């Protein structure tokens, strides 16, 4: 990736993952990296696109509904008097097929990837954010329900890169006891000290997720101010973003963006580079498809919804 090569050149002879023995120093390094990317992208559905660039709102979660349950528990773990919320981005320059599959609305053909631009945009939001609304999503369809508004003196906002960890790589297994393998973007530390990730509960993930190249916008709030609130809302409607916003439709997007006219003129639109190149039918060849006549629009849930009918006809399978 272009930005990875650029970063490699600029970092030569400077700090890298293998330089750290404690979590305080590593956290500072990850914050510096997180605040200096060339792009911050969100994969999701049209609904997410509407909330970000029509309503100009970012929603941060406390981790209770994340698909990586281990990460969610670590993120929302007790931490004295504070509670945390996060909005996750990827800083990869190119499209990621796995990200489209996981987050890009593949089943309903309404997925998008939103590039919020470079560090200047995100840092402007952080610097000029004077208040945050806290609450939860409620109702059907779900809408944000505000419980409390907190002012700038009551919260901290910052960007931080995720570091991915796994088993240390060493010829002698005895040496691996107090070691860990770390990875962030292009750089890795095969035998880093385990002490360097102690206390990094909100900035570490299993190595299996390293393809995400994740950066988080984190909100830190005192617990007494956010009891019962699982979501934070940041409104940036009064902030002029520096760089043009790019919206890329998913590889299997089924129609033109319905709300182009309602978006700002400085938003550009592109089709995915993977459009028409990959078969996105995840249920192709499935022997249970015959029972999905009434739920073809949600094939990924089809068998579950038609299980009673399938049981009756199982002898035909």
Nearest to 102 by CA among 206, 211, 202: 211
* Interior/surface letters 199-225, b for 16+ CB within 10 angstroms, e for the rest: ebbbbbbebebbebbbbbbbbebeeeb
Task: Enumerate the domain spans of the chain.
Answer: 2-280, 282-317
Express each pLDDT in 124-140 by its tens digit. Answer: 999 999 999 999 998 77
Express each pLDDT in 21-79 by its tens digit. Answer: 899 999 999 999 999 999 999 999 877 777 887 788 999 999 988 888 889 888 988 78
Structure tokens belonging to residue 105: 């609305």
pLDDT at residue 83 tops 80: yes
Higher-pLDDT residue of 205 and 53 is 205
Higher-pLDDT residue of 282 and 77 is 77
Lowest mean pLDDT among 64-78, 112-126, 153-167, 182-196: 64-78
Q: Is the peptide bond before 141 cis (omega within 30 degrees of 0)?
A: yes
Q: Indicate the pTM of the whole model.
A: 0.83
């Amino acid at each position: 990736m272009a930005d990875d090569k650029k970063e490699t050149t600029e970092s030569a002879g400077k700090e890298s993952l293998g330089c750290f023995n404690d979590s305080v120093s590593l956290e500072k390094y990850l914050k510096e990296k997180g605040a200096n990317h060339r792009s911050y992208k969100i994969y999701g559905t049209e609904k997410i696109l509407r909330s970000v660039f029509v309503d100009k709102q970012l929603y941060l979660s406390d981790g209770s509904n994340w698909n990586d349950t281990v990460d969610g528990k670590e993120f929302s773990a007790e931490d004295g008097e504070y509670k945390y919320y996060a909005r996750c981005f990827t800083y990869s320059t190119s499209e990621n097929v796995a990200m489209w599959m996981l987050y890009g609305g593949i089943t309903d053909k309404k997925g998008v990837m939103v590039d919020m631009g470079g560090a200047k945009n995100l840092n402007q939001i952080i610097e000029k954010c004077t208040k945050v609304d806290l609450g939860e999503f409620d109702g059907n369809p779900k809408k944000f329900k505000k419980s409390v508004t907190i002012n700038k003196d009551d919260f901290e906002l910052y960007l931080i890169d995720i570091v991915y960890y796994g088993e240390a790589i060493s010829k002698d297994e005895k040496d691996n006891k107090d070691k860990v393998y770390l990875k962030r973007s292009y750089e890795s530390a095969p035998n880093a000290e385990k002490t360097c990730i102690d206390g990094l509960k909100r900035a570490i993930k299993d190595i299996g997720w390293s393809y995400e190249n994740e950066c988080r916008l984190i909100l830190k709030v005192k617990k007494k101010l956010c009891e019962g609130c699982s979501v934070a809302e940041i409104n940036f409607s009064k902030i002029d973003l520096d760089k043009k916003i790019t919206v890329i439709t998913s590889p299997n997007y089924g129609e033109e963006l319905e709300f182009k006219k309602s978006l700002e003129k400085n938003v550009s639109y592109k089709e995915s580079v993977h459009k028409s190149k990959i078969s996105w039918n995840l249920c192709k060849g499935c022997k249970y498809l015959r029972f999905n006549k009434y739920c073809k629009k949600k094939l990924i849930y089809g068998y579950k919804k038609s299980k009673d009918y399938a049981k009756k006809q199982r002898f035909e399978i």
